[in-house]
Amino acid sequence: MSIEATIDRYCEAWSNPEPAARAAALAEVWAEGGRYTDPRADARGAEALLDHIAGVLAQRPGARVVRTSVVQQHHGFVRFAWQVIETDGTRLPEGLDIATVGDDGLITQIIGFFGTLPSEVPATG
């Protein structure tokens, strides 16, 4: 599976309204014990991640997560942008995920960030 297909299957695991379909999509791409974190979550293993996704979808029924950037990778590290699209077509602010992918192509870690990264010129010194 290409890295793009892997990431898109992962996004499907956040998007399909059927829990069994989400689990099937995640099973294709998620390594055993893989860790998912974002500012509000820290889930280890597919089951914990699927529980988290179910909770998020319960708050936004019918919402989908779609990839909105190319997939860049080096040394098994991947970055891509994504967006939540609600049922009425509303798009939430773009997020960024950094994935770690093993030699077998399975995702061992996702580090997620929400929204854009605000600019700042730090004080010198």
Residues that bind its own copies (CB under 8 A): 4, 8, 37-39, 42, 66-70, 72, 74-75, 77, 79-81, 96, 98, 111, 113, 117-122
3 by DSSP, 3-state: which?
A: helix
Rank residues 12 and 57 by Cβ distance to its own copies and give the closer one. 12
Rank residues 50 and 78 by Cβ distance to its own copies and give the closer one. 78
Q: Name the pairing type of β-strands 107-114 and 95-101.
A: antiparallel
CA–CA separation, 87 vs 49, rounded Å?
22
Nearest to 56 by CA among 38, 70, 71: 38
Q: In angstroms, what is the minimal distance from the CB of 70 to its own copies?
A: 5
Q: In angstroms, what is the minimal distance from the CB of 36 to its own copies?
A: 10
Q: In angstroms, what is the minimal distance from the CB of 8 to its own copies?
A: 6
* 61 to 28, 34, 101: CA distances (angstroms): 24, 26, 29
